[in-house]
Structure 1
Amino acid sequence: MKDLLGLMGKAKEMQAKFQAMQDEIAGIEASGQSGGGLVSVTLTGKFDMKSLKIDPSLFKEDEVEILEDLILAAHNDAKAKVEAVMKDKTSALTAGLPLPPGFKLPF
């Protein structure tokens, strides 16, 4: 019974740590670029787009598809950076826990 109470206490402590980590991740920002910096996107830790910057030289009527591709690439670059920060923070928190391979936490 003592082990069960200890386990429950650790679970509650881990839940508080995960909540704090989620709050911290929500506050981060990551910028992604494409086209050699012609397009820049900034995302929050919740993957909300906070800013989009486009170099004026890309505003040409016949290059709309290029601009669209660059925006998508910059967004994906920023998203990958946010995911990398999330992975680092999650692995630091779960270090030493016997989680099965491929187990994903609910983020």
Structure 2
Amino acid sequence: MDMQALLQQAQAMQQQLVQAQQQLDDAQVEGTSGGGLVKVTVSGRGSVEDITIDPKAIDPDDLADSAQTIADLVLAAIRDAETGVEELQQEKMGPLAEGLGGGLPGGGGGMPGLPGF
């Protein structure tokens, strides 16, 4: 086993990991519900950044029902955005996890501290 080659591979993977994390930090994913009445913007790391509610979602004649409907729509939009974030994270981080399993002695064991790895 060539330790120098293994060290270079580990350093390259470290650099790829840092780049993938930066891309996730910079990314924004939008989730929608109610045909676009509610839009949620989430960072690539999964943090809710913005929520937009179209005034058409509010029925002034039934505020209590409107409030519940809006809450449901916000929750649905967040879940929609979370699905997009999961896909983005898999796209950016998945190949790195696969690289860990195949290139390191012992078959890799995931990446401690990172969900899903």
TM-score (norm 2): 0.75
C-alpha contact 2:97 2:111 (8 A) present in aligned 1:
no
Counting only pairs closer than 5 Å after superposition, residues 1-107 of structure 1 correspond to structure 2 as 3-60=2-59, 61-63=63-65, 64-94=67-97, 98=102, 103=110, 106=114
More deviation in 46-55 or 20-29? 46-55
CA distance in 2, matches of 1:36, 1:23: 32
Unaligned runs of 5+ in 1: none
Q: Deviations over 1:26-73 (max 9, x none)?
A: 111110001111111011112222221111122341221111111011
What is the count of residue pairs matched by the alignment?
Answer: 105
Percent of matched pairs sharing the same residue: 30
CA distance in 2, matches of 1:36, 1:4: 56
Aligned alpha-carbon RMSD (Å): 2.4
